[in-house]
Chains A and B, each alone.
Chain A
Amino acid sequence: MTITSHPTSAHSGVRRITLRFAYLGLILSLIGLNARWIWKDRQTFDLTIADGFLKKGRLSDAEQTLQELVDRSRWNGEAMMKLSRLLAKRGDYLGCARVLHKVPDWWPAKPDAIFIEAQSFKQLDMMREAEVAWKRCLVGDPLHPFPPRYLSGAARELVGHLVLEGRIDEARELLMKAFDLALPSERGDVMIMRMRAELERVAHKEAASRLRTIVKADPDDWEARRALAFEEQLLGNLAAADLEIGACLKARPSDVPIWRTYLEILYQRGERDEIRAAIKRLPPLADADAEILKFRGLVHEWDTDLQSAVDAFQRATELNPREPEYFYKLGILQERLGRSEVATQHLQHSRQLRKADSELSDAYEKLLALSQHLQAGNPEYDAAVEHLASLCEQLGWKREAVAWRRVIGAG
């Protein structure tokens, strides 16, 4: 009798083996998954060990422990704050800034983190990153207001930086925003900063030296490179100015402030043909810039197209009614066109602006001297503030005039 294997028995054997493997696979994966969770859950998130190292002065051990904690949890704001302090202590400002950047927005010490981040980037001359962080201090979220100590600090740092780079319009806007966010007791300081932004400038040699350091630290900081080009021009370093402005134009051909600086440099050198050529290559948005319109007007004037020059300067005065030079040029052009009545008006307005501008400096100096020993409420101090407010009004700075009056409680 012959015994033959039954086909179903073979199949069931295969199925049994498959089932066994599947079972084993399932068991192993579940064990692995649970082991991973248990291992991960056993990792500690508390700072006891790091604090112990800090107490004993074992800073590198503390740093290592804190770094591990930060790597393990991106939500541990306290570990991040402590680690950043250690990194700053040993001079690693970049590491400090990067760690502080990671502190979650909802962490209670986030304002401290943002301000220290900005200061760390400043230490490294990485001003683009510092500027972003300072601007975050001035966002003005009513539900998460920034502590006033950081608000005025950030405003001061930012304005200093913007003035260094010649970005006065931005500084003006920013300070008026800082004024709205400041406590009543700090408003006077903000307005003093506002006047400083208008009246004080960094010496060219010092500005160039500072800008060179910034550009060296971050060659892609085009605002700094643009400002450096202008400072180099003013210092007579023409080749360096060409190098910087050339690099800026190549990297950012549509950036209006870069074109404005380029035209300024050419104007300083008296290169009329170059200005004519540059005007033809301007990006489309350039005609919304009063200073560029001034150059357009000058080109028309050189080409004896006086009416087009008048139109350009007229538009410039509309965009920036605070600049006496535009009114002066407009007056001269109108006179050349025989419109002496309009010309006289423009020339007179230009003179008024210049007079108010020079008086502003004296009034500011006087207020600075008075603020050493007097404050709002004192009649002499209030009169000095009122004088500054009326000069601001004459210069067309209505917001500033109102703000000055609010400083003495009269607005």
Chain B
Amino acid sequence: MDKARPLTKTSIAPANPSAVAQVRPVRRPRSRRWRTFRSVSAFLFLAVLLGLTAWNATHSPALDRSVAAESKGDYVGALQSALEHLEQRPWSRQARLIAGRCLSRLDFAERAEEYYQTAGRLSTEDLHYRAYGLVRANLRDQALTFYHEILAANPRDVAALRLEGGILLSQNRWETALEVADQLINGPEGVVDLLNPATVRTPWTLRKGTVGSVPTLGYTLKAVVHHDRQEYGDAANSFEKVLELDPSLASMPLDRNQFWAHFCEDLIKDGRSAVAVEHLKSWAESTSDPGLIDILGRAYQQESLFNDAERCWQRVLQLDAKHFTAYLNLGRLSIVRRQYPEAVQLLSRAVELQPGSYEATYSLGLAYRQGGNVPEALIYEEKAAQIIQPAPKDER
């Protein structure tokens, strides 16, 4: 066995020169240029491959389909494709956001949370989708958290302020709602861009729109808060401010009929029924809303314009044959006019429609009494007394 020898020039020299042909030629060291070329090529290849990987990691035909479907308003298709993309690429932030937004729009707000929570920092628009989805799912406190987040980033976000005000109103948190109303009143002037819910049905979406007068939103909110708190004078003043700022009611967020109904009811209760008649006269003629015409009737009645009031309530009954208030008011009017048989007839119908109404039962008793039918009067007076008196303990 050969002993290990030190490597010397002589030891590597072939003993037999003919053996040189059999020995593999020793590779010559590559030139520096070649090595550089090889390294650069390898690096470039790796870079290209990494780029391709990065592209593939974030893109897929499913994601493209999802983006296209969302922009077309096909939220089910967008959600399906986004989830298909997430199956292969669970880290995709874009797909998570699409999935979250689509689930919100399809009214699966709680399920959308899973995607929003893992999508990192959300844009203002995404926060709006998240919050409004929660509002619709009646998760109002959670929705408020996200509206606060939007407002922390941009205290003048009108859409967030408006919806926050609406939530506070629905929660009877009057003082905070009034603070929000003040923020809107002092909000930006002129035309402002905002995100608005495009439809109330499922699936809904948010569309970019404009509002001509932000203070109008604030005064409307303030008016509704006062109306709900039965502060009729303050409510009427705020509604008047709305009319002053926005005479066409283009920026006023309430349904028109609701606006006039609230406003005129507040005016009547504040003793300003003449103003209510003035506002409501032209509007009530063009509407087929029995509630509004009934309010106009009450305004006329308060102004002692009984014929006009009667005309209004007759029209209400033409529109809605089971309108309790119209029967009650017409019946009371007949008592005032000493037309007792008519009063009994109208008030009997009112009692039939709402047997638990103290006002209708008492008025019917009164109509009988003043018409001279004391036995019947006693029956209804007793019934009325039972309605307001608490039931005995053992009957409850």
A residues in contact (CB < 8 Å) with B: 1-5, 23, 26-27, 30-31, 33-34, 37-38, 40-41, 45, 73-77, 104-108, 143-144
Contact = CB atoms under 8 A, between A and B. Distances in A.
B7 A4 contact: yes
A27 B45 contact: yes
B202 A144 contact: yes
A344 B363 CA distance: 43
B6 interface: yes
Nearest to A26: B46
Given A3-B8, A33-B53, A38-B56, 9 more contacts: A1-B9, A3-B9, A5-B7, A31-B49, A34-B52, A41-B61, A74-B87, A106-B106, A106-B111
A402 to B, nearest CB: 13
Pick from A2, A30, A40, A106 the residue with the most CB of B within 10 Å. A106
Interface of B: 6-9, 42, 45-46, 49-50, 52-53, 56-57, 60-62, 76, 79-81, 83-84, 87-88, 103, 106-108, 111, 136-137, 202
Contacts of A30: 49-50, 52-53
Contacts of B84: 45, 73, 75
Interface of B: prevailing SS: helix
A46 B111 CA distance: 26
Contacts of B45: 27
Given A1-B8, A45-B84, A37 B136 contact: no
Contacts of A34: 49, 52-53, 56
Contacts of B7: 2-5
A41 B106 CA distance: 27
29 contacts: A1-B9, A3-B6, A3-B9, A4-B6, A26-B46, A27-B45, A27-B46, A27-B49, A30-B50, A30-B53, A33-B53, A33-B56, A34-B49, A34-B56, A37-B57, A37-B60, A37-B88, A40-B88, A45-B62, A45-B84, A75-B80, A75-B83, A75-B84, A77-B76, A105-B111, A106-B103, A106-B106, A106-B111, A144-B107
A41 B52 CA distance: 14
Pick from A1, A5, A31, A40 the residue with the most CB of B within 10 Å. A40
B333 to A, nearest CB: 26
A270 B49 CA distance: 85
Nearest to A44: B61
B193 to A, nearest CB: 29
A2 B77 CA distance: 78
A2 B87 CA distance: 65
B292 to A, nearest CB: 24
Contacts of A76: 80
Contacts of B111: 105-106
A12 to B, nearest CB: 13
A82 to B, nearest CB: 15
B6 A2 contact: yes
B91 to A, nearest CB: 13
A37 B8 contact: no
A2 B8 contact: yes
A379 to B, nearest CB: 14
Given A34-B56, A40-B88, A75-B84, A23 B46 contact: yes
Contacts of A106: 76, 79, 103, 106, 108, 111
Contact of B87 (A4, A33, A73): A73
Interface of A: prevailing SS: loop
Contacts of B136: 143
Given A3-B7, A38-B56, A77-B80, A23 B42 contact: yes
Nearest to B85: A41
Nearest to A108: B76
B305 to A, nearest CB: 34
Nearest to A37: B56
Pick from A31, A75, A105 the residue with the most CB of B within 10 Å. A75
Nearest to B355: A410
Pick from B8, B56, B57, B136 the residue with the most CB of A within 10 Å. B56
B242 to A, nearest CB: 31
Contacts of B76: 77, 106-108
A338 to B, nearest CB: 26
Contacts of B52: 30, 34
Nearest to B107: A143
Closest 5 CB pairs of A and B: A143-B107, A37-B56, A2-B6, A75-B83, A75-B80
A398 to B, nearest CB: 13
A336 B246 CA distance: 83
Nearest to B53: A30
A255 to B, nearest CB: 33
Contacts of B6: 2-4
Nearest to A2: B6
A31 to B, nearest CB: 7
Contacts of B9: 1, 3
B370 to A, nearest CB: 29
B367 to A, nearest CB: 23
B374 to A, nearest CB: 29
Contacts of A5: 7
Contacts of A144: 107, 202
Nearest to A23: B42
B354 to A, nearest CB: 11
Contacts of B88: 37, 40-41
Nearest to A38: B56
Nearest to A33: B53
A66 B160 CA distance: 45
A41 B46 contact: no
A103 to B, nearest CB: 11
A36 to B, nearest CB: 9
Contacts of B137: 143
Pick from A26, A38, A45 the residue with the most CB of B within 10 Å. A45
Nearest to A45: B84
Nearest to B64: A41
A77 B57 CA distance: 26
Nearest to B49: A30
A279 B9 CA distance: 108
Contacts of A27: 45-46, 49
A168 to B, nearest CB: 29
Contacts of B81: 45
A59 B261 CA distance: 62
B170 to A, nearest CB: 15
Nearest to A30: B49
A194 B108 CA distance: 33
Nearest to B42: A23
